[in-house]
Amino acid sequence: MMSQAPVIACKNVWKLFGKDPEGYYARMPEGHGYDQIRADGYIAGVKDVSISVGRGEMLVIMGLSGSGKSTLVRCFSRLHDITGGTIEVEGQDIMSLSEKDLITLRRNKMGMVFQSFGLLPHRTVLDNVAFPLEMRGQDRHTRRDRAMEVIRLVGLEGREDYFPRELSGGQQQRVGIARSLAIEPDIWFLDEPFSALDPLIRREMQDEFLRLQAMLGKTIVFITHDFDEALRLADRIAIMKDGAVEQCDTPDQIVLNPATEYVRKFTEDIDKSRVVHASVLARADAHGEGAPVPARATIHDLAATLVSDQRDMIPVADGDRPLGALSRQEALRVLVGA
């Protein structure tokens, strides 16, 4: 998945809020913690984050409210200017971009969906969706055609002449999604897009989103504070606390091998068996007898087999390709959550 150069690469990124962040950053002692910074009157929105996002990857950022998720993503799109470190988007240092280049980058490469939708209240659905195209200076007909295309894509056909106030929350967020897709962005940022929606609609929107993603295959940075949502969507999950990324890894690794105590606590209540896949437990050097289990199955999917099977080592295969074998004991431990 990460075969090519990363789409977004950030190194030691800092974002401080306060009176004179640059000055403070310059004289800040090495290894200053979040609370010490806070005592000095600054807030570390993002604290020494190094992370990269590969092409076509879906990175989910998680963390409690106030942990810096939104701030980090706003640094990626330079809605915030970072205080220290570097962020490269497609190999370009975004802090060195002129205003004009930045606008070009946003007009052509980036789309963003907001938790509170951010729709322009005085524009119809169609005009909201066509807005980024209008800003690009596209003529009326082309932009209307394209807008209608994405409106159809998100399933809002027939509502294009409505105003945002006439739509439900879920429909409004569809407009937000359509707008962010109108310019066919390569990179798609979604800041808690579904948290303002009620659970049923949220589920429906997630399915919708997965369908879109399967169709479009974009590079995605997705923020959520809902673990189930993260697990459904993520290739990798980054867990943030106090502005810093505690761990960034696949969901399986996060629940199996939490890097810090915080991550362990954070993932404590998760049903690990639903997250961990057979492929992760499979050891390449081990052998097992009999019929293999599929690599993509979660331990939860295999529960019946694991309990009734008598083998110690069960082979795992991805289609026809053998991956090795997993230890039944280990798998059972995951199943009972020990």
Partner 1 sequence: MAVLSTNAAPVAPRGQTALALVALAVALTLLHYAGLLPAWLTRVPEALVPPFAPWLDAAFTFIRTDLGLEKLTRWIAEGPLQFALDTTANLLYGKRRWPNLGPIPWSAIAGSAAVLGYALGGWRLALLAGGTFVWTALIGQWKIAMETMSVLVVAAPLAFVIGLGLGIAAWANDRVDRAIKPILSILQTLPFFTYLLPAVIFFKVGPTAGAVATIVYAVPPMILMTTLGLKKVSPAVIEAGQMSGCTRWQMLRHVYIPAARTEILVGVNQVIMLCLAMVVLTAFIGMPGLGAKLLAMMGSFKIGRSFEIGITIVLLAVTLDRLSKAWVVRVPEHHPRGTPWWRRNKYLLIGLGVFVGFTLLGQAVDWFSEIGRRQSWSRGKEIDAAIKAFLALGPVQSVTDQIRYVFNVWILIPFRDFLLSIPTPAFILLFAAAALALADQRVAIWAAVFFGIVALTGWWDRAVITLYSVISAVILASLIGLPIAVWASFTDRRANRILLACDTAQTFPSFVYLIPAIMLFGITATSVVMSILIFAMVPLVRYTVEGLRDVPPEMIEAAEMSGATRMQKLWKVQLPMALPTMAIGFNQAIMFAFFMVIIAAFIGTQDLGQELQRTLAGADLGKNLVLGICVSLMALSFNMVLTTWADRKKAALGL
Ligand X SMILES: Nc1ncnc2c1ncn2[C@@H]1O[C@H](COP(=O)(O)OP(=O)(O)O)[C@@H](O)[C@H]1O
Looking at this protein, which amino acid is placed at residue 234?
A
Per-residue DSSP letter, 20 = -
Residues in Cβ contact with 151 at an 8 Å cutoff, skipping those fewer than 6 apart: 125, 126, 129, 157, 159, 160, 178
Residue 122 or 321 with smaller CB distance to partner 1: 122
Q: Which is nearer to partner 1, 107 or 283 (CB)?
A: 107
140-153 and 169-182 are packed helices; what angle lies between their axes, rounded to 10 degrees?
Answer: 130
Contacts with ligand X, residue ranges (CB under 6 A):
17, 43, 45, 63, 65-71
Nearer of residues 70 and 172 to Mg ion, judged by Cβ: 70
Q: What are phi and psi of 277, to 5 degrees?
A: -95, 155
Neighbouring C-beta atoms of residue 189, cutoff 10 Å: 25
Q: Which of 3, 27, 91, 122 binds partner 1 (CB under 8 A)?
A: 122
43 binds, among ligand X, partner 1, Mg ion, none (CB under 5 to 8 A by kind): ligand X
107 binds, among partner 1, ligand X, Mg ion, none (CB under 5 to 8 A by kind): partner 1
Among 179, 202, 236, 277, binds partner 1 (CB under 8 A): 179
Asked if 224 is part of the footprint of Mg ion (rule: CB under 5 A), the reply reads no
The residue whose two tokens read 């939708």 is: 117
**Dist. CA 96–CA 86, nearest whole Å:** 10
Q: Taking contact as CB under 8 A, which single stretch among the options 4-12, 28-36, 53-61, 116-124 is the one that binds partner 1? A: 116-124
Distance CA 173, CA 113 (A): 8
Q: State which of residues 11, 32, 107, 311 lies at the interface with partner 1 (CB under 8 A).
A: 107
Residues 130-169 that bind partner 1 (CB under 8 A): 131-132, 134-136, 160-163, 165-166
The answer to whether the CB of 94 falls within 8 A of the CB of 88 is yes
Q: What is the separation, in whole angstroms, between the first and last Cα of the chain?
A: 31
Q: Which is nearer to partner 1, 118 or 294 (CB)?
A: 118
Residues 6+ apart with CB under 8 A from 239: 62, 63, 245, 246, 247, 248, 254, 262, 263, 266
Show contacts with Mg ion in window 42-71 (CB under 5 A). Answer: 70
Orientation angle between helical segments 125-135 and 169-182, nearest 10 degrees: 20
Give least dist CB 254 to partner 1, A: 29
Give CA 214 to chain center in angstroms. Answer: 15
Please report whether residue 194 would count as binding partner 1 according to CB under 8 A: no
Smallest separation, CB 326 to ligand X (Å): 36
Tell which one of 77, 138, 206, 219 touches partner 1 (CB under 8 A): 77
Nearer to Mg ion, 156 or 189 (CB): 189
Task: Look at residue 68 and give the partner it binds from Mg ion, ligand X, partner 1, none, a contact being a CB closer than 5 to 8 Å depending on partner kind.
Answer: ligand X
Q: Would you count residue 323 as binding partner 1 (CB under 8 A)?
A: no
Q: Whose Cβ is closer to Mg ion: residue 70's or residue 273's? A: 70
Q: Which residues contact Mg ion (rule: CB under 5 A)?
A: 70
